[in-house]
Amino acid sequence: KEVGILGCSLMGAPIVGMLASFPTVKERVNHFDEELANSKIVIDALASIEGTKILSEYPRKHTLTRLDTTGSFDVVAQTHKKRGFFLSSALSKKGITGIIPGATKVWKINTYGMTRKQAEYVADTYLEIAETNGLTIQ
């Protein structure tokens, strides 16, 4: 084998890019506890909606979380006039974007980069949508 292929085969511009981004990555790690706290706010709110399951390990050690809402938002989607699009539509009316339109069964949410105020707003919005559509909050 070539010496460059043993181990890491990154060479040239990609490795320079990785080296240049290292200080930013190092700084992000210093604030990861805050990111997890913000994630907990949103995930706890979603978990309190009856029929919603957290498919990722819980309690979370990461900001990316996989959810199963077949017992909650998908039940609403079966009878709602907008079907599965009601959730993304309701969220976008509140200024929250990024959710895949039509996704009400199994989907992922990432809270990385949110401030505490934004996390609380997102959590409150999900709870409000659930209440508006007749879902039980535990």
pLDDT at position 3: 56
What are the structure tokens assigned to 1, written together?
């084998």
Pick the closest to residue 77 from 128, 130, 122, 136 (CA basis): 130
By CB atoms closer than 10 A (0-12, 13-18, 19+), residue 105 is: middle
Give per-residue pLDDT as tens, 88-126. 999 999 999 988 888 889 999 999 999 999 999 999 999
Instruction: Sketch the domain layout of the chain as residue ranges.
Output: 10-132
For residue range 41-76, list pLDDT tens digits in order: 999 999 999 999 999 998 889 999 999 999 999 999
Strand partners, 68: 53, 106
CATH number, span 10-132: 3.90.1150.10
